[in-house]
Amino acid sequence: MVDKIDLRLLSLLQKDCMLSLNELAEAVNLTTTPCWKRIKRLEDDGIICGKVALLDGEKLGLSLTAFVLIKTQHHNSEWYQRFVQQVEAFPEVLGFYRMAGEYDYLLQVQVSDMKSYDNFYKRLVNGIPGLNDVTSSFAMERIKSTTALPI
């Protein structure tokens, strides 16, 4: 069960997972041992599922964000498993969702430029049979982007 102290710890860790145990404990009015035990329990329960460094794609030359909507004619389990495996292998795909509504899937793709996107697009549509419609939209400006959940 997650309580107010756990939520405060999670909120702090979402903003900066490099905070020291002492800083975290002080922020939630605990000593380090009970604070560490709470964090360990949150990890063991799968609530904390990883710790990563967030990178600035623009500064690394990955300035083009595309959202790719896909319709398919296939909906059987075998095709789905193969499709998921193939899409997960594309390092350019940062987000991959099965959708309700007009389109079946949504991909968030990060690449350096339009030529790189075109290369990705060709590998996608030529490597996966059964895609009926692949529509792309390109972000002109990133206004908000966060990994923090609203807890």
Query: What are the tens digits of pLDDT across the range 77-108?
Result: 999 999 999 999 999 999 999 999 999 999 99
Query: What are the tens digits of pLDDT across the range 10-20?
Result: 999 999 999 99
Question: pTM value?
Answer: 0.88
pLDDT at 79: 94
110-141 burial, b at 16+ Cβ within 10 Å, e below that, comes to bbeeeebbeebbeebeeebeebeebeeeeeee
Strands of the sheet containing 64-72, edge to edge, are 93-98, 105-111, 64-72, 131-138
Question: What number of residues does the chain have?
Answer: 151
pLDDT at 127: 93
| Nearest CA among 81, 93, 88 for reference residue 121 | 93
pLDDT at 74: 87
pLDDT at 26: 98
Q: Where are the beta strands (DSSP E) in 50-130?
A: 64-72, 93-98, 105-111
Q: Which residues pair with 129 in a beta bridge?
A: none
| Nearest CA among 60, 59, 48 for reference residue 24 | 48
pLDDT at 75: 86
Output the average pLDDT for the chain: 96
Q: What is the mean pLDDT of residues 8-35?
A: 97
